[in-house]
Amino acid sequence: MSDTDFPGWHGTTIIGVRKGGRVVVAGDGQVSLGQTVIKGTARKVRRLSPGGYDVVCGFAGSTADAFTLLERLETKLEATPGQLQRACVELAKDWRTDKYLSKLEAMLIVTDGTDLLVVTGAGDVLEPEHDVAAIGSGGNYALAAARAMMDTDKDAETVAREAMAIAADICVYTNGKLTVETIGG
C-alpha cells in the first residue's frame, strides 16, 4: 500500500468557547482509520500546569505529533510563566522552522482562561473572533453552531457541549463522548 493509498487518521472536533469570564475547551473521543472507528474514548483535551500556571489544550491531528507539541508548549510555558501568547508564538516559530517539528501534523487550541488561541504548523497563533475557536474534521460545524448560540443566555459549557453535539450529528469522524475542561471565572 503506497502513502497515497493509505486512508489516514481522521477525526476530531475540538472547540474553545470564552463566555462569562470562563473558557471551556471540549473535544470528542473518536479516533478513526479510514472508515473504521479505532477508539471512541480518546482524551484530546488536556490540562497542563507548568510551574503552577494552568493551561488547557485541545488537539486535532496526529496524536503522537500533538503530544510532541504539548511537551514543547509546556517547556515554552515554563520559560515564560504567565505569558501564554508569547509561549505559543515561540512554539509556532519553532514548529515552522525546525526541520523535525515542521513535519508534525496537528493543530492546537490553547487557553489560560484569559487568552484563547489557535496554534498551527504554518506559524500561526490566532485569537479567534467572536470568542469561539474550533479545529478538526467537525470544527466548522461546531464553530457555526457555537457562534449561533453566543448571544443567548447559555453559559460557555452549555454552548460548547451543544455545539459538539451538533458537530457529532453531522461529522462522521466526531462522536459525542466528550472531554471537557473549564478554566477561569
Task: Judge contact between 25 and 46, C-beta under 8 A.
Answer: no
DSSP-derived pairing of the beta strands 132-136 and 125-126: unpaired
Report the residue count for the chain: 185
Q: Please, which residues have CB within 8 angstroms of residue 29's CB and are 6 or more apart in sequence? A: 39, 40, 41, 42, 43, 44, 175, 177, 178, 179
Respond yes or no: is residue 12 known to be catalytic: yes
- Pure H helices in the chain: 63-79, 84-97, 139-149, 156-170
Which position among 4, 12, 68, 75 bears the catalytic label?
Answer: 12
Of residues 89, 94, 129, 88, the one with CA closest to residue 110? 88
**Which are the catalytic amino acids?**
12
